[in-house]
A and B are shown apart, each in its own frame.
Chain A
Amino acid sequence: MKKRIEDLTVIDNSKLAEGFFVIKVSSSEDLTGIKPGQFVQALVKESPSTFLRRPLSVHDINPSENTLLLLVQIAGPGTERLSRLIPGEKLNLIYPLGNSFTLPVQGERVLLAGGGCGMAPLLYLARKISESGVQPHFALGFRNRSRILTHDEFSALGPVYLSTEDGSQGYRGFVTDIPEFSNEHWDRVYCCGPEPMMKAVAALCRKRDIFCEVSLENLMACGLGICLCCVVPTTSGNLCSCTDGPVFNINDLKWQTSG
């Protein structure tokens, strides 16, 4: 699918938890060519300190409505402005950007491991996995009960195993402490979250020889493979996480092999 710049229309913007929002936008163009794991670069208006676009994962696509969901965590003035978008406003996006997750094959057991806002790309991935006839399972970790970001869409697609760092809901600890993760057999693990969490997941997968792809959230300027700012050291040298990623197999990442 060709990349495009488009003013999409905000249909809904709702608070998911304190500091987290889901923005729904509709397009006049067909959105179904977007692949799971891809992202958009959102232009933030009326925020003078926000010079660059904000990279955001595609959280979900609704083909019947031709809408796209973005899960946004307020991290600064740019995302704060996005959280105040109201229905009817335009949101200028460059999309779709980046590569995508490798879908499983029939009969495989797959686990989607997300940490915090990093779970954003996993919903659309789960939908695509489900459509391919494979049952997705979720292992999702959050800091505490008030920051849990799951919604009905997840449980509609597959079993959800939760962890919170303080044990206020689900298993106490990290995603990797969820018994279903460590005890059951998995053919593939897809992961997105904070870097320490992804490294822990990658270490576990490596130990058990599980296929594992992670989606990185490196700082970037352009999202188009031009500025070379979002590089990640890989076995093939420094690659752009915006065009060669954001999805990488853990075996290709240097941070995995070094520890």
Chain B
Amino acid sequence: MADLRIKIGPLELRNPVILASGTCGYGSELEDFIDISELGGIIVKGTTLEQREGNPYPRMAETASGMLNAVGLQNKGIDHFEKNIYPHLAEYKTHVIVNINGNTIEDYVELSRRINSFSAIPAIELNISCPNVKQGGMVFGTNPASAREVISAVRRVYDKTLIVKLSPNVTDITEFARISQEEGAEAVSLVNTFLGMAVDISNMRPKLSTITGGLSGSAIKPVALRMVWQAARAVTIPVIGLGGIMNAEDALEFIMAGATAVQVGTASFINPRAGTEIVAGIEKFLIEKEIDSVSTITGIINRK
């Protein structure tokens, strides 16, 4: 047995593997395949105050070792969430985190205030990095002053664990990690998807209805890993690493580069058991290497 426990602010996770927002639904979609409670946590899909229909189809294009998506935060809004989704989430014996989005700072604040009252939700992931909405999202996450303003405003009304999800579509991601720390976030998660696009040469049209979308999957892993490594050296709060993690080896790379925890995203589309298999793989690795605790190897490449 290896000790897989890690801490994100006041939260203790039983292991460092969290399912990423937008790739695990509300957990129930994966229940035929895995026991959600075996994970360190799940981050349920991007939620907004009001119901959103998202972007028109087509919203997806497969790319070399990855995929583009342009979903656009389709969800039924916080009222529906509270009434219809939350009761089931409250039964999970793991941390359930809500990814929150808004068009304006007021939206983010109101949503944070609402979720602050949900006793079974110990943390929010402040999404200032969605590339697929015209307002809000990445607009906040690519401008340092706007990022500071929204994080600060949410921090004032939200007294549980605040994780800020950062966009990789910036020149220097460490600047946004530092701002998150300065404004009182307990952790940062990075990276969200990279802005990309694809053209269908047979009909000479963009493959996505929105022309551009967010790239995820194995294709982004080396770049995501580099950004996680940079951010982990720039801040003292925990960094949650994500971007193209498909298996335990990928997850271990992020951990060794400085991630306290990891998120598994697109991998679940191909293997709905990816999350729990990665937990098992990390444990197996530690046992084979005779390492007592996962925290021993967090950021180990920076210490040699």
List residues of chain A with CB under 8 Å of any chain B CB. Answer: 2-5, 43, 48-53, 94, 218-222, 224-233, 237-238, 243
Contact = CB atoms under 8 A, between A and B. Distances in A.
B54 interface: yes
Contacts of A225: 25, 29
A95 to B, nearest CB: 11
B118 interface: no
Nearest 4 A-B pairs (CB), nearest first? A229-B60, A222-B269, A3-B32, A226-B25
A106 B44 CA distance: 45
B67 A231 contact: no
Contact of B59 (A2, A5, A228): A228
Interface stretch (B95-103, B149-157, B255-263, B270-278): B270-278
A221 B22 CA distance: 12
Given A227-B269, A231-B74, A52 B67 contact: yes
B272 A221 contact: no
Given A5-B272, A48-B65, A227 B74 contact: no
Interface SS of B by simple majority: loop
Interface of B: 22-25, 29-30, 32-33, 45, 53-54, 56-67, 69, 71, 74, 217-218, 266, 268-273
Contact of A238 (B32, B66, B74): B74
B33 A221 contact: no
Given A48-B64, A227-B69, 10 more contacts: A5-B33, A219-B60, A222-B268, A222-B269, A226-B24, A228-B45, A228-B59, A228-B71, A229-B59, A231-B74
Contacts of A237: 53
A45 to B, nearest CB: 12
Contacts of A227: 22-23, 60, 69, 71, 269
B23 A226 contact: yes
B60 A221 contact: yes
**Residue among B32, B69, B273 having the largest count of chain A Cβ atoms under 10 Å:** B32
A41 B238 CA distance: 36
Contacts of A233: 56-57
28 contacts: A3-B32, A51-B62, A51-B63, A51-B65, A51-B67, A51-B217, A51-B270, A53-B269, A219-B57, A221-B69, A221-B269, A222-B268, A222-B269, A224-B25, A224-B272, A226-B22, A226-B25, A226-B29, A226-B268, A227-B23, A227-B71, A228-B45, A229-B59, A229-B69, A230-B60, A232-B57, A233-B56, A238-B54
A256 to B, nearest CB: 15
A2 B269 contact: no
B131 to A, nearest CB: 15
Contacts of A49: 64-65
A219 to B, nearest CB: 5
B143 to A, nearest CB: 27
A218 B268 contact: no
Nearest to B266: A221
